[in-house]
């Protein structure tokens, strides 16, 4: 893993994501190396920087945030491009330092991660009005999760983290996605995630399908082979497949007694 330091020129960027006014990303690149992640496309990365092999640590971002928080209002999203609790955070603590700054301001915080490391910061989060944490769980099957998200904690650890956060009075939700044809799109697979989310005390399940981007396509072809991804990509673009999956999720959530919400 190539770990390098970089200087950020700004901490808060305007966000176009639903419910978020600002985006805050202490890192560029991600150690989780999720095969389906389209952050590389969003960041217009070059082919030399293979996703999951590098992380840029924006060491000065808490200092910049200390200045910018004075003019900040609304909701700040942490983890809009790369995971704020990827393994390097255990050493650098940049996300925690940023939370300390935001806790002294007026902004709400919405975190999305795949890591149980977020529980380390419960002491700060429980002091922040309206703070919420969403954890991505694409499947409860640890073998499939290892193929899709090789550097992320196993699903059971993520659900345990959600239960701990919920127990501390912090609002939580599960991001079920992306739904990938032939990988995690069966009713059984989705039901297992939804039931676990309910048991963990989550308020809702947010869901989304696989969204194909150029760099993402090439990464998935390399990982799973052309013949498998050919059918995968075809189904991902079909309206009938999407409607079937989304209806399944909504029905399963209704049966489990948990709110469902489409991501986009």
| Digit-coded pLDDT (tens) for 153-165 | 999 999 999 999 9
What would the pLDDT profile of 39-74 be if each residue is shown by its tens digit?
A: 877 765 554 567 777 899 999 999 999 999 887 889
What mean pLDDT is predicted for residues 219-233? Answer: 91
Mean pLDDT of the chain: 93
Domain 2-262: CATH class, spelled out: alpha beta
Strands 171-179 and 27-28: what pairing? unpaired
**Structure pTM?**
0.94
User: What is the domain partition of the chain in residue ranges?
Assistant: 2-262
Q: What is the pLDDT of residue 40?
A: 77
Q: Express each pLDDT in 164-196 by its tens digit.
A: 999 999 999 999 999 999 999 999 999 999 999
**Residue 64, beta-bridge partner list:** none
Pairing of strands 27-28, 22-24: unpaired
* Chain segment 89-122, per-residue pLDDT in tens: 999 999 999 999 999 988 999 999 999 999 999 9
Nearest to 172 by CA among 208, 138, 136, 221: 136
């Amino acid at each position: 893993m190539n770990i390098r330091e970089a200087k950020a020129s700004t901490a808060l960027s305007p966000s176009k994501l639903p419910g978020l006014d600002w985006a805050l990303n202490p890192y560029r690149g991600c150690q989780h190396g999720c095969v389906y992640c389209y952050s590389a496309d969003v960041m217009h990365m070059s082919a030399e920087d293979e996703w999951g092999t590098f992380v840029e640590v924006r060491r000065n971002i808490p200092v910049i945030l200390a200045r910018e928080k004075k003019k900040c209002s609304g909701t700040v999203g942490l983890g809009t491009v790369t995971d704020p609790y990827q393994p390097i955070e255990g050493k650098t603590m940049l996300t925690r330092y940023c939370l300390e700054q935001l806790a002294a301001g007026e902004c709400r915080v919405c975190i999305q991660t795949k890591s149980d490391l977020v529980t380390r910061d419960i002491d700060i989060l429980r002091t922040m009005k309206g703070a919420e944490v969403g954890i991505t769980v694409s499947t409860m099957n640890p073998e499939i999760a290892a193929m899709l998200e090789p550097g992320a904690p196993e699903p059971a650890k993520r659900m345990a983290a959600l239960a701990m956060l919920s127990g501390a009075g912090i609002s939580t939700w599960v991001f079920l996605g992306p739904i990938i044809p032939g990988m995690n799109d069966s009713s059984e697979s989705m039901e297992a995630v939804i039931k676990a989310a309910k048991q963990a005390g989550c308020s809702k399940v947010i869901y989304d399908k696989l969204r194909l981007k150029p760099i993402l396509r090439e990464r998935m072809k390399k990982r799973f082979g052309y013949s498998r991804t050919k059918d995968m990509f075809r189904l991902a673009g079909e309206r009938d497949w999407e409607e079937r999956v989304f209806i399944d999720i909504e029905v399963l959530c209704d049966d489990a007694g948990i709110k469902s919400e489409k991501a986009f």
